[in-house]
Structure 1
Amino acid sequence: MNFLKNYIKQISIAFLIIVTASFFAFNNFELKEEKAIHQEAILDNKEDKFFVSVEYYPEEITKKVNHKLDSLLKRINKRHDFHGAVLVAKNNKIVYKNQVGYTDFRKKKYLKEDAVFQLASVSKQFTAAAIMLLKEQNKLKLSDTVNTFFPNFPYKNITIKNLLNHTSGLPKYFWVAEHEWTQNRPPTNTELMQLLPSSKAQRFFKPGRNFDYSNTGYFVLASIVEKVSGISFNNFLEKNIFDPLEMNNTYVYRFKNDVVRENQLIGYRLYKGWRHLKIGNTVNDAIVGDKNVYSTPEDLFKWTYGLNSGQLLSKESLSLMYSKGETIYGRKIPYGFGFRMDRSNENNIYHYGKWNGFSTALTNYLEDNLVVIVLEHTSYNAMKSLNEKIKKIVSQNLEV
């Protein structure tokens, strides 16, 4: 009798173990399957979200405008020492792309289409976009102050929006690096943020009262991106903007901290009207956010296309980036988030940049769906005039 009871008991335990194991195995399979489906959906969404098609107009349509733009490039190269590249796009298709001049004057090497230019202040739009991406992820608010992320930041009550609109009143970080940094290498963002609490530099005005174009504000914004995301500014842009948009020749470069890449250009200046001298680096050249994004004209086309098409940011975020800011007194200022607005036409969104011999311009004529990109590396100083000439040629000679 006892033998029978023990046998039944053992059978029951074995059955219970089998049922339990089957239950967990089934649920584990369901979880794995659900996770795989979810992961696949994320990948599909990401693939659908970032799609930039680099298309060109047929040659028969652009032959006339290309001939005139080629002539313009040759003329400014000869008369005004322009050594750079131009890209024009209309209705999200490339109309014109070419370069003229040298990449290396000693070796007489001509510029090629894969030459990579320092964008100077055109870099600021990537910093602004990084902030808006974090905002859309609910990781920060435009009303957050810098002290939310850096409690020891000495200039109080400055919001992220103040930084984006250049209404912060912050002092120039160039002065701090040049007068208060004591090491024999340029400081990084982290190091300069740590130096600011002990700096003697005073703010120009209280937050929101005035508009004052500030490189410091965008260096602080890049530092916030690093603090919130937990990764370097370069890695954040790479993972969230450059890679998704297939901007394969775009990156952030910090002097003495990063390796010089292939095809990365050096800035020059003209000496005594004939000799080109390389421009050396400075103590400010490891700071990112206000400058130091390197790119090509085609990559900037991908960037503009991705941004304008709403693939990268929401329409609400893009509208804020492309809208004039204002002071606390209600005075409008011709700057959005990382972009300037033409005073005579708010639909002309643009930014120029100059740094260490590089002159850059990205202009977005929204009404005409026309984008003009100009990158140069020998201290060319007539970007606005050149931009207007390019637009006039395209308007008069391209029928699409």
Structure 2
Amino acid sequence: IISNCLSTFFSDHIQMKNFIFYTLLISFFAPGCYYSTIKKNKPAASPANDSVVHQPAISEAEFKRYYNASEQFYEHILERSQFSGEFLVAKKGEIIFERYAGYSNISTKDSLNANSALHLASVSKTFTAMAVLKLWEEGKLSISDEASVYLPGFPYEGVTVKTLLNHRSGLPNYVHVMEQLGWNRKKIVYNADVLQFLVTNKSKLQVARPNRSFHYCNTNYALLALIIEKVSGLPYPQFIYENFFAPLGMTNSYVFTMSDSLKALPSYNYKNKQEAFTFLDAVYGDKNIYSTVRDLLKWETALSYGNMFKQSTLDSAYAGYSYEKKGIKNYGLGWRMLEYPNEEKIIYHNGWWHGNNTVFARIIKDSATIIILGNKYNRNIYQAKKLFPAFGDYATEEDTEE
């Protein structure tokens, strides 16, 4: 490590008479060399279309401070709880700390690595929301339109694209009600089935008045995926690939469809038992994006430092829309948030599906990113909040699973 750090200072042919001088030089530079060596290069965000701008590097002192805090969190919170998954902390798009632990497949003992795509669970909603907002920017839809404009036969008045985005639609969660009302568990549910179920069973479903209160609901995002398909003319997986994954170089990311059944990595419960595929596992938009921590850092870098979206669009996405309850928790358009009294925000989303649980947290003002993807259920993943104070005054009791 030391010789690499000093390679620019002298050649390989050091004369003996300079031995004392170089010994002193080594002792002076060695501490900084260690941290500069372990710093990882910022992943290529990609941009064929120049969608990301360069950010200045952080200082060695900053790097050391954030590295130590991240290492302590990993060792005391994740590693001690038999974490299986991927963990990455970044500042200004630069990787500070990165770890991979556990197996991608317990049966074969294949270890997880930087190319292992894990199920993002509800972190997938961030892509669905931004896809809708991209179509809005392009003038192809209006978020104030009622959903029925884009979903023929949709019978719920007052439900708009916006209330789907911010979970104020009042619709019931298909994950719970479809089986309750008799859906055959042997028949796989697709997005079109969710819509048809809402149409057919309107008289049997308890539906709240739209835009009266916040109610987190996967149905909203299953319907948004259908709206994306209707407006764009493309299947949702293709739209996400062409507009986000390909331009940003997210080479290990994909939207799961049944054709991906053989390559999709399994997940496990806390007892290391593999979770079974269920009749609800083919619906996308609310879930079913697979990705890696490095690919998600590219997504974050494009959102924070790029020109993929107008600032006005991002401002709309990161605004809170639900203030019925006191506190700092709120929801924007596809993003959870913590709104502090000093007007600072943490923009994030958590997720849980089967054995996968995930955290994608973005400390906007301090340009920090915390990403945790687990493939064996572990509630300690949601303790990512304990890392927030390392980057500023962000104390919180937030512990939302998704």
TM-score in same-fold range (> 0.5):
yes
Q: CA, structure 1 residues 71+226, in 2 after alignment: closer, same or farther (shift >3 Å)?
A: same
User: Counterpart of 2:103?
Assistant: 102
What is the TM-score of this pair, normalised by structure 1? 0.77
2:110 is aligned with 1:112? no
Partner of residue 299 from structure 2, selected from 295, 303, 310 = 303
Number of residues of Structure 1 aligned to a counterpart in Structure 2: 342
CA distance in 2, matches of 1:87, 1:293: 18
User: Counterpart of 1:40?
Assistant: none
Q: CA, structure 1 residues 101+53, in 2 after alignment: closer, same or farther (shift >3 Å)?
A: farther
Partner of residue 339 from structure 1, selected from 311, 335, 339 = 335
User: Counterpart of 1:323?
Assistant: 319
Contact 2:53/2:306, CA 8 A, preserved across alignment = no
Partner of residue 351 from structure 1, selected from 345, 349, 352 = 349
Instruction: Supply the RMSD in Å over aligned alpha carbons.
Output: 2.9
Moved more, 140-149 or 66-75: 66-75
Partner of residue 235 from structure 1, selected from 235, 238, 244 = 238
Q: CA, structure 1 residues 381+137, in 2 after alignment: closer, same or farther (shift >3 Å)?
A: same
Q: CA, structure 1 residues 261+101, in 2 after alignment: closer, same or farther (shift >3 Å)?
A: same
**More helix by percentage:** 1
CA distance in 1, matches of 2:366, 2:69: 20
CA distance in 1, matches of 2:56, 2:237: 28
What is the TM-score of this pair, normalised by structure 2? 0.77
Once the two structures are TM-superposed, the CA of residue 48 in structure 1 deviates from its matched residue by 3.5
Q: CA, structure 1 residues 53+356, in 2 after alignment: closer, same or farther (shift >3 Å)?
A: farther
Structure 2: 5+ residue stretches without partners = 1-46, 394-402
Q: CA, structure 1 residues 55+278, in 2 after alignment: closer, same or farther (shift >3 Å)?
A: farther
CA deviation profile, 1:170-202 (whole Å, cap 9, x unmatched): 011123432443473312112332332112542
Contact 2:329/2:339, CA 8 A, preserved across alignment = no
Partner of residue 385 from structure 2, selected from 381, 385, 388 = 388
Partner of residue 199 from structure 2, selected from 197, 202, 223 = 197
Q: Which amino acid aligns with 1:194?
A: Q
Q: CA, structure 1 residues 280+53, in 2 after alignment: closer, same or farther (shift >3 Å)?
A: farther
Q: How does 1:136-215 map to 2 (within 5 A)?
A: 136-178=137-179, 179-182=181-184, 184-199=186-201, 200-215=203-218
Contact 2:123/2:351, CA 8 A, preserved across alignment = yes
Once the two structures are TM-superposed, the CA of residue 155 in structure 1 deviates from its matched residue by 1.5
CA distance in 1, matches of 2:51, 2:362: 20
CA distance in 2, matches of 1:333, 1:310: 27
Q: How does 1:251-290 map to 2 (within 5 A)?
A: 251-254=254-257, 257-260=258-261, 262=263, 264-271=264-271, 276-290=272-286
CA distance in 1, matches of 2:111, 2:48: 37
Q: CA, structure 1 residues 395+340, in 2 after alignment: closer, same or farther (shift >3 Å)?
A: closer
1:112 partner SS: coil
Q: Which amino acid aligns with 1:127?
A: T
Q: Which amino acid aligns with 1:139?
A: K
User: Counterpart of 1:92?
Assistant: 93
Q: CA, structure 1 residues 252+205, in 2 after alignment: closer, same or farther (shift >3 Å)?
A: same
Q: CA, structure 1 residues 127+395, in 2 after alignment: closer, same or farther (shift >3 Å)?
A: same
CA distance in 1, matches of 2:388, 2:176: 38
Contact 1:177/1:284, CA 8 A, preserved across alignment = no
Once the two structures are TM-superposed, the CA of residue 92 in structure 1 deviates from its matched residue by 2.1
Structure 1: 5+ residue stretches without partners = 1-45
Moved more, 135-144 or 184-193: 184-193
Contact 1:177/1:187, CA 8 A, preserved across alignment = no
Contact 1:155/1:203, CA 8 A, preserved across alignment = no
2:370 partner SS: strand
Q: CA, structure 1 residues 392+208, in 2 after alignment: closer, same or farther (shift >3 Å)?
A: closer
Contact 1:211/1:333, CA 8 A, preserved across alignment = no
Q: CA, structure 1 residues 332+357, in 2 after alignment: closer, same or farther (shift >3 Å)?
A: closer
Moved more, 83-92 or 104-113: 104-113
1:378 partner SS: coil
Contact 1:54/1:94, CA 8 A, preserved across alignment = no
CA distance in 2, matches of 1:281, 1:56: 44
Once the two structures are TM-superposed, the CA of residue 350 in structure 1 deviates from its matched residue by 0.9
2:368 is aligned with 1:370? yes
Contact 1:349/1:365, CA 8 A, preserved across alignment = yes
Q: How does 1:4-15 map to 2 (within 5 A)?
A: none
Q: CA, structure 1 residues 67+107, in 2 after alignment: closer, same or farther (shift >3 Å)?
A: farther
User: Counterpart of 2:82?
Assistant: 81
Contact 2:49/2:247, CA 8 A, preserved across alignment = no
Contact 1:164/1:217, CA 8 A, preserved across alignment = yes
Once the two structures are TM-superposed, the CA of residue 287 in structure 1 deviates from its matched residue by 0.8
User: Counterpart of 1:312?
Assistant: 308
Q: CA, structure 1 residues 56+294, in 2 after alignment: closer, same or farther (shift >3 Å)?
A: farther
Q: Which amino acid aligns with 1:138?
A: G
Once the two structures are TM-superposed, the CA of residue 167 in structure 1 deviates from its matched residue by 0.6
1:135 partner SS: helix
CA deviation profile, 1:43-79 (whole Å, cap 9, x unmatched): xxx8334247799879897467546644643454553
CA distance in 2, matches of 1:54, 1:292: 31
CA deviation profile, 1:217-253 (whole Å, cap 9, x unmatched): 1111111001111111000011111111111111110
